[in-house]
């Protein structure tokens, strides 16, 4: 039974390694459940991930419009 457990752990670890999680990507916002998840790429790599309510997302949109107009 010990060998089986070691084999199972090895298989799980090797499978996880085949799916690297890269932090880089485009600016995106997706609706997930009742909230909105915004992913913002960062200088130097990675992304800032923020979960917002629809009201918070609308307020953020208004603030960004005010700053860019």
pLDDT tens for each residue of 58-69? 999 999 999 998
CA distance 22 to 19: 9
9 domain residue, yes or no? no
pLDDT at 45: 85
3-state class of 23 per DSSP? coil
- Predicted confidence at residue 12, as pLDDT, reads 52
Lookup: tokens for 36: 């909105």
How many domains is the chain partitioned into structurally? 1
Q: Does residue 19 have a pLDDT over 50?
A: no
Q: What is the pTM of this model?
A: 0.60
Contact, 39 vs 47, CB < 8 A? Answer: yes
Is residue 61 included in any domain, yes or no? yes
Domain assignment present for residue 12? The answer is: no
Task: Kindly tell me if the per-residue pLDDT of 49 is higher than 50.
Answer: yes
pLDDT band at 46 (very low <50, low <70, confident <90, very high): confident
Half-sphere exposure of 34 (CA within 13 A, CB side): 2
16 located within any domain: no
Residue 14: inside a domain: no
Q: Which residue has the higher pLDDT, 42 or 25?
A: 42
Q: Residue 62 sits in which domain range?
A: 23-69
Residue 63 forms part of a structural domain: yes
Q: Which of 22, 18, 64, 30 minimizes the C-alpha distance to 47? A: 22
Per the domain annotation, does 37 fall within a domain? yes
């Amino acid at each position: 039974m010990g060998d089986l457990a070691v084999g199972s752990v090895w298989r799980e670890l090797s499978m996880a390694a085949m799916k690297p999680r890269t932090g880089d990507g485009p600016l995106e916002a997706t609706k997930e459940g009742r909230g909105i998840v915004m992913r913002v790429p960062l200088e130097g790599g990675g992304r800032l991930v923020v979960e917002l309510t629809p009201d918070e997302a609308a307020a953020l949109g208004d603030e960004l419009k005010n700053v860019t107009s």
